[in-house]
Structure 1
């Protein structure tokens, strides 16, 4: 990612670096002019004309430096900002390309830390890091040359004795800073994770009176973050004062050896003043070396964390030459045994069944029997081996995920709404909203009457994750969202658990009568709504133990019949 960016925008960095070098070069002439002014004023016949010319040169150089500093900042720091923008966009694109399995094992707080702190650290390395590296390297070399050629090589070497120690100290502390900064970022991610989860689940936290417990967890993680930060600060607290001490020794050496040279007239007073100005310029690059290493090491650590995400590969591999399908006529599962990539347990075992266009299929069974896994695999959310799932007699692995999902409306168990207007949640990801279609879908989902009672109706903005709506309202809005795009297959994964049985039955019946040509797959615990289903699949511990119509399964008097009879008794008792 970084190399590709540099290859594409190298000319911006080159322009900025050349401008920075010119600025540094111009700065080197100012002490020389000052030294000449001092020596001229000590001459037998000083004139204001000479001083005026020198001052004019200094002012002109200062003005040129001010203008050119704008340009190197524009090109170098602006380029770093461009990288931050492109990297954030690339990272977001990468996250969208990853399979749900990645997010099953990765906390969103950690990802947010990489989007914020880590990207900022990389940007600093590409901006200030580049500036200081070029500045320190060029200034160090050119300052030594100016000191030696315009003043004295002997005094230059003597005053520079402490400076190599600066480089050694910087190299010694560099790796320590890198490791401790990595720990700081990891601890920051841990704090971000807990904060994000607590805010998202604040209603659960409060309903269980778990405020104190979460406060203790946050306190512990914050303390770990503090300790990691203090650990890094301790290194910096030793590092930078030591650098300043060694830099000050250079001035002490200059005074100790240079003073007598001025007395002996080996060096003029003006040259000695210029030399000390140059020494100050040379001290800065040596000190900057430590700061640069700190920034670069921090950026390198953060870049590693970002690349960990970029190197992740989607679990679901897309076909190189995908087969394009325009509609879904048949769906077939053939002897499918499946376990999730991170699990050692078979969720489904030897599952086989077929669905034809226009059929209503119910999937029921015991808790954890693999019902949801079937529809997740059908939507190609997780990888599956070849020869197990077919759509229109084409292996699902030969069809692009986007193609499949464009034909399947999938309503998951979790009703997730975005913090936006209800109409925009129903017409999700659509630029132009057809309000007639929105209202029609809301009516089919039996939520229209409740929406129009809100003060702002369909313009009502729901809270984060739709928390301002009731559970049943959220579920029905998500169903309306699935219906809006008019897809071939409608999959309802236990998405009406929060509404009463009568409303669920009403919704299913209206959808069945309205979309007779569409295939419907319904996962539910309320078996009453499946009495008119063309096929009911009964799962137990990942195995299909029964399948058939409602009447056929009742005649078998097996698991389905027992579950159905128990529910009817419960309804009678409630009535």
Structure 2
């Protein structure tokens, strides 16, 4: 990422570095001017000369102020551009990854990477670049000014402790890198736990688990604190050591430079300038530590960001995809499947097919693979070739986007965004058709309830739709799927929170109004499937029965037993 960015914006860094060098050059002239003024005052004081020198110093200071603004604009501004562009790139990359990636990576860790880690990389590209250039250029030029303007002998003596500063910086840089990585890991763990707990706060309260959750949070928070303190201890030792060796340089300057002034080898003005230059030289040595600190943090965070960049989608897209305009036929042929990275076979030799306009019911025991069937059809997970066909074309030859543009998916978990009901129904649409939204809300049997809200369709539903009941959320998600007007609509056990009569009413209304649409209904309430064109029954990943309702009842197998049991339960509840 950084290489590509620098290829495009290298000139902004070049301009910033050039301006920074001019600032450093101007800075080097001030001690020399002060030294000349001191020597002038000692010999033949002239107020006009002093005034001229003061004006020069003020002019240089103003020029430095302007140039400092410019290098900040070019270097720090460009690093901010990198942060903006990289965050967008990473977000787009995350959206391109398969569902399996998010099954294995927690949202808290991803949030930490897009915030904390990206900020550390930006710091390396901003302060890291500035300090690197400033320290290296100032170190070389300051030594030249000290040697040529004052004395090479005094310069070499006062510089004896400076190599030790560089060694200390290198040693502590490795420690800082290692401990910063630990801090980032603990921060990610804490972020994950916090995000998950806040999202599930209603479960926490309903189970009266406040104390237990607080204990677990405190445990993770303390681990984060310990990691941060471990890093702080290294930094706390590092900078005092740097100051100590820097002070030794000043002691040596006074010890050897004082007698040289007394003997007349060096003037008082030159000695004052020398001490100013020595202070400037100490800064680059100390800055080396800052540079290593910032760059090591940036390196550690960049590695974590590259984990996202280098991640490849589990679902591979075809190089020359076949484009389909509509879904006319779907065929599953001897489908045996297990999720990537797992050993359990979820589906075992499943075969069935259906055509446009059919209503397909999928029923079975818990964990029998019902949802997996439709997830694979939408290419949410990879599937081997020769197992699923749309319009007699292998789905591996059709792009994921093409397939998903033709399928409306209503998942088991009803997820709503913290926005108005209307915008949730017309999700991701540029132009919202209010009448269309109302129409599909009526079909989903939720219109009257939306109208009863204080702000109707403009009511904001809160995070994940928390202000709505479970049944209301499910029906809004159905309206959202219908609003898309896709060829195939999948209802993945999405009406479990509504009563059986409402579920039957919704499915019947959809069936009557959209005979040309294909519907896949996954449900535990078998009564709504009486008019289905095909019902498949799964048990432990195997397709054990398939046919219409009457045919399955005649088989007197698993479906028939489940249906009779539900009918008895309904009769008992009605009494």
TM range (shorter): over 0.9
Tell me the CA shift for residue 309 of structure 1. 1.1
Tell me the CA shift for residue 376 of structure 1. 0.2
Please tell me whether residue 7 in structure 1 is matched to residue 15 in structure 2: no
Please tell me whether residue 574 in structure 1 is matched to residue 573 in structure 2: yes
Q: Distance in 2 between matches of 1:46 and 1:198?
A: 75
Tell me the CA shift for residue 289 of structure 1. 0.7
Tell me the CA shift for residue 59 of structure 1. 1.1
- Superposition pairs for residues 208-227 of structure 1, below 5 Å? 208-227=207-226
- Superposition pairs for residues 281-430 of structure 1, below 5 Å? 281-430=280-429
Please tell me whether residue 441 in structure 1 is matched to residue 440 in structure 2: yes
Corresponding residue for 1:189?
188
Tell me the CA shift for residue 356 of structure 1. 0.4
Secondary structure of 2:5's aligned partner: helix
Under a length normalisation based on structure 2, what TM-score does the superposition of the two structures give? 0.99
Corresponding residue for 1:512?
511
Q: Distance in 2 between matches of 1:572 and 1:530?
A: 18
Q: Distance in 1 between matches of 2:150 and 2:354?
A: 92
Please tell me whether residue 459 in structure 1 is matched to residue 446 in structure 2: no
Q: Distance in 2 between matches of 1:354 and 1:32?
A: 89
Tell me the CA shift for residue 226 of structure 1. 0.4
Q: Distance in 2 between matches of 1:50 and 1:259?
A: 27
Q: Distance in 1 between matches of 2:449 and 2:58?
A: 74
Corresponding residue for 2:165?
166
Tell me the CA shift for residue 342 of structure 1. 1.8
Q: Distance in 2 between matches of 1:370 and 1:155?
A: 82
1:396-449 deviation per Cα after TM superposition (whole angstroms, max 9, x unaligned): 001010000000001000000000000000000012110110000000000001
Please tell me whether residue 31 in structure 1 is matched to residue 20 in structure 2: no
1:51-98 deviation per Cα after TM superposition (whole angstroms, max 9, x unaligned): 122111111111110110000000000011001101110110010000
Corresponding residue for 1:22?
22
Tell me the CA shift for residue 116 of structure 1. 1.1
Please tell me whether residue 105 in structure 1 is matched to residue 101 in structure 2: no
Secondary structure of 1:42's aligned partner: helix
Corresponding residue for 1:146?
145
Tell me the CA shift for residue 26 of structure 1. 0.6
Secondary structure of 1:521's aligned partner: strand
Q: Distance in 2 between matches of 1:374 and 1:210?
A: 37
Q: Distance in 2 between matches of 1:2 and 1:517?
A: 51
Under a length normalisation based on structure 1, what TM-score does the superposition of the two structures give? 0.99
Corresponding residue for 2:53?
54
1:442-487 deviation per Cα after TM superposition (whole angstroms, max 9, x unaligned): 0000000111011111010001000110000000000000000110
Q: Distance in 1 between matches of 2:250 and 2:308?
A: 48
Corresponding residue for 1:468?
467
Stretches of 4+ moved more than 6 A in 1? Answer: none
Please tell me whether residue 251 in structure 1 is matched to residue 250 in structure 2: yes
Corresponding residue for 2:41?
41
Tell me the CA shift for residue 334 of structure 1. 0.5
Secondary structure of 2:184's aligned partner: helix
Q: Distance in 1 between matches of 2:106 and 2:210?
A: 21
Corresponding residue for 2:238?
239
- Superposition pairs for residues 493-572 of structure 1, below 5 Å? 493-572=492-571
1:112-155 deviation per Cα after TM superposition (whole angstroms, max 9, x unaligned): 11111111111111111110110000000000000000100000
Q: Distance in 2 between matches of 1:361 and 1:16?
A: 65
Q: Distance in 2 between matches of 1:562 and 1:295?
A: 68
Tell me the CA shift for residue 310 of structure 1. 1.1
Q: Distance in 2 between matches of 1:70 and 1:453?
A: 57
Secondary structure of 1:343's aligned partner: coil
Corresponding residue for 1:229?
228
Q: Distance in 2 between matches of 1:485 and 1:113?
A: 34
Secondary structure of 2:249's aligned partner: helix
Q: Distance in 2 between matches of 1:60 and 1:496?
A: 76
Give 5+ residue unaligned stretches, structure 2.
none
Q: Distance in 2 between matches of 1:340 and 1:56?
A: 76
Q: Distance in 2 between matches of 1:46 and 1:348?
A: 98
